[in-house]
Structure 1
Amino acid sequence: MSTFPYSWLMLCSLLFSATSQANIRVKDSLGEHVLAQTPTRIVALNWDLAEQLLELGVTPLAVANIKDYQTWVVKPAIPDAVQDVGTRTEPNLEKLASLKPDLILIASPQKDLMVRLQTIAPVLYYETYNADQDSAAAAIENFKNIAGVVGKSTRAEQKLNDMKERFRELKQQLNDAYNGHLPSVVAIRFASQTTIYLYTNQSTTAYAIKQLGLTVERPQAAKKWGIVQKRLTELQYVSKGYVIYFDAIDQQNKLDKSMLWKALPFVRNGHVNQAQPVWNYGGAMSIQYIAESITQSLLEIKPQ
């Protein structure tokens, strides 16, 4: 009996399998796309996207503005082998092309470069921060979608489950330290000695505060990037709450010299502390880092 029909079926099966593996369907903020294969040489031009890849165990080929990432984002660390391709808003396109990436990830700061970037490699766009969506939900959804692109969906789900468990642990630590009376919190960054950024209701920072069982004091309406600029005097209304400020630069010397700062009620009550540097505009796992930073800061000034 001829074996031709069997051999032919086997060949067709192998060809179909190869085709199925070569073409993968992926999703970004603009919809669904098809990539020729699972990418391995990936450039991330926004810090939150670099973070998402690193948390998935994928080392990007290149990232924009690595030096400042190491100051402001900090975690996860970028391996030394990763190339720097200029700034986030004006990446070095010539260098980028020379690296021969098979995928470029961008966010809103690079959206106007999409057409030019597409001449170098396929581009996927992930938007997390705008006034029309919940930033934490978007960061988590983008994390899952990027995991699908790089074949790390199982790892992504495990990381997200671990984050939920970590929230429960941190909440319990605060409950124990504050005898079940969790405080209200205002999270800020300094814009100058007299102006501050407050985190808005749809920010990842507000989400982290709520996951800890804390109340957001002085809640703010949604804004792009989840922040709104106010004068420092806005904080005069915080009498019983705690103020936690994020900054990669130690502000204490300047604050100690500010009569305005020292006159604020929460300062006089000792209800203020600096938080360890974290990136408040990052990917999914940055939410956990924000929660950990806030918790540590509050534990340092817990009631005696």
Structure 2
Amino acid sequence: MLLSVGTMTGGSTVCHCFIKAGIENIFMIYMGRLLLSVLRAVLPVLLSLLPLFASLSNAEESKKLVTFDYAIADTLSALRQPPLAMAGLAQYRSFYREPLLPDARELGNRFQPNFEYLASLEPDAILISPPAHLNLEGKLSRIADVIKIQLFGESLNIWQNLEQLTREVGGLSDQQQQAEALIDSVEARMSAIAAQIERPGKPLFVAEILDDRHLRLYGAGSLEDMVLTRLGLENAWQGPTNEWGFSILTLSEAFQLEGRFILLHPAYSQYLTDSALPTSGLWQHWLNDTPVSIEANYWPWGGFSSALRFAESLVEALETPTER
């Protein structure tokens, strides 16, 4: 009797084991199919997010670039890879009426930077534009690789140099495709502006009054001359220029010029603040016709972003009737 009971008990145990195993198998099959269906639904989404994950990874690993030149900083900013730090940033910011490179750190004076602070940032490269800052190259090279990019000068093709700058900066910041897209977008915008801009009857002088006796004219080798040429306009100033693309004339020399003047409401001059013309001196009797005035919201030695700002301001100024 005990044996019978034991046999029955053992059989029941075996039966329960088989039932349990069957249930587990069914459950595993069900879960496997459920997992497979979930993977089929989720996998395309995960694959579509891979470029985002890659870009985030590249952003975290992007090089720490420092520059002493605004054209380079301008280009880095346009590529959405602003410089880690910049020399002379406070001075550049004082020329604009809007935030400029808000995430970049200040290195001090452009020609007397804080070398200790610069070294503490551990930059991967320091970008300069000769001939400026060549005297600092020795000290800078002890901190990081110094990369020299020459932009302006009478014998240089500024458009080609800005293209080269954009591509080189794009390569340094792993933004090659974005660099090409920026070049294409600027070229397209310039063509659109050229198609709509008013054609003045006279050649244009792009001028900036420095003080009560001196005038700056932008000519060959300047960003302004490059923009005029790109828009199909004639630059009236064909005289010699320095390595920065401008000439300085005296008041008497300015009175002998004939053409239409585009006056830059000063962004660079430290002598003028609120007036396009000085309130004293002979400038008040300079022209019979009031010259066209542009609020200079760009840097004269900037990148493609600055070139577009000047071009768009020029269109607006030429379309605005001047007071007499």
TM over 0.5: yes
Letter in 2 for 1:228: S
CA distance in 2, matches of 1:164, 1:251: 33
Letter in 2 for 1:185: L
1:262-273 aligned at under 5 Å gives the runs 262-264=284-286, 267-273=287-293
- One of 74, 94, 112 as aligned partner of 1:51: 74
Q: Tell me, what secondary structure is at the counterpart of 1:255?
A: coil
CA distance in 2, matches of 1:223, 1:73: 25
User: Secondary structure of 2:147's match?
Assistant: strand
Q: 1:141 corresponds to which letter in structure 2?
A: Q
Map 1:15-164 onto structure 2 (within 5 A).
39-72=62-95, 77-79=100-102, 81-108=103-130, 109-164=132-187
Going from structure 1 to structure 2, the CA distance change for 1:280 and 1:197 (only over 3 Å counts) comes to same
Amino acid at match of 1:290: F
Question: Residues of 1 paired with 2:285 and 2:151: CA distance?
Answer: 37
SS in 2 for 1:252: coil
CA distance in structure 2 between the aligned counterparts of 1:303 and 1:154, rounded to whole angstroms: 46
Given that residues 183 and 242 in structure 1 are in contact (C-alpha distance below 8 angstroms), is that contact kept between their aligned partners in structure 2? no
Partner of 1:189: 208
Partner of 1:225: 244
2:229 to 200, 204, 210: 210
Residue pair 1:74, 1:278 contacting (<8 A) in 2 also: no
How much does 1:59 deviate?
Answer: 2.0
Percent identical residues? 22
| Letter of the structure 2 residue corresponding to residue 98 of structure 1 | S
Q: 1:89 to 1:254 in 2, by over 3 A?
A: same
CA positional deviation for 1:183 = 4.0
TM-score for the superposition, normalised by structure 2: 0.72
Aligned partners of 1:210 and 1:216 also within 8 Å: yes
Q: CA deviation at 1:238?
A: 3.9
Match of 2:22 in 1: none
Residues of 1 paired with 2:315 and 2:209: CA distance?
20
Q: 2:283 aligns with which of 240, 257, 261?
A: 261
Q: Which amino acid aligns with 1:103?
A: A
Q: CA deviation at 1:101?
A: 1.2
From 213, 216, 219, the equivalent of 1:200 is: 219
The equivalent of 1:287 in structure 2 is 307
1:40-72 CA deviation, whole Å, 9 max, x = no partner? 211112222211211111021111121111123
CA contact (8 A) 1:50 1:60 kept: yes
Answer whether contact 1:89 1:110 (CA < 8 A) is retained.
yes
Q: Distance in 1 between matches of 2:169 and 2:253?
A: 39
Q: 1:121 to 1:39 in 2, by over 3 A?
A: farther
Structure 1 residues 76 and 184: CA distance shift in structure 2, 3 A: farther
CA positional deviation for 1:174: 2.1
Aligned residue for 1:225, secondary structure, equals: coil
SS at match of 1:164: helix
SS at match of 1:163: helix
Distance in 2 (CA, whole Å) between partners of 1:250 and 1:300 is: 22
Q: Is the 8 A contact 2:67 2:127 kept in 1?
A: yes
Distance 1:292 1:232, change over 3 A: farther
> More strand by proportion, 1 or 2?
1
Displacement after TM superposition at 1:254 (Å): 5.0
* Pairing 1:275–2:295 present: yes
Maintained 8 Å contact 1:130/1:224 = yes
Give unpaired runs (5+ residues) of structure 2. Answer: 1-60
CA–CA separation in structure 2 for the residues paired with 1:39 and 1:216: 41
Q: Which has the higher contact order (CA 8 A, sep 6+)?
A: 1
Q: Check conservation: 1:270, 1:301, Cα contact below 8 A.
A: no
The verdict on how the C-alpha distance between 1:256 and 1:297 changes in structure 2, with shifts beyond 3 A counting, is: farther
Count of residues in Structure 1 that have an aligned counterpart in Structure 2: 259
* Alignment partners' CA distance in 1, 2:74 and 2:213: 32
Between 1:213-222 and 1:60-69, the stretch displaced more is: 213-222
Look up the SS of the partner of 2:133 in the other structure.
helix
Residue 181 of structure 2 aligns with an amino acid whose one-letter code is: Q
Find the structure with the greater CA-based Rg.
2
Q: Residue 244 of structure 1 aligns with which residue?
A: 263
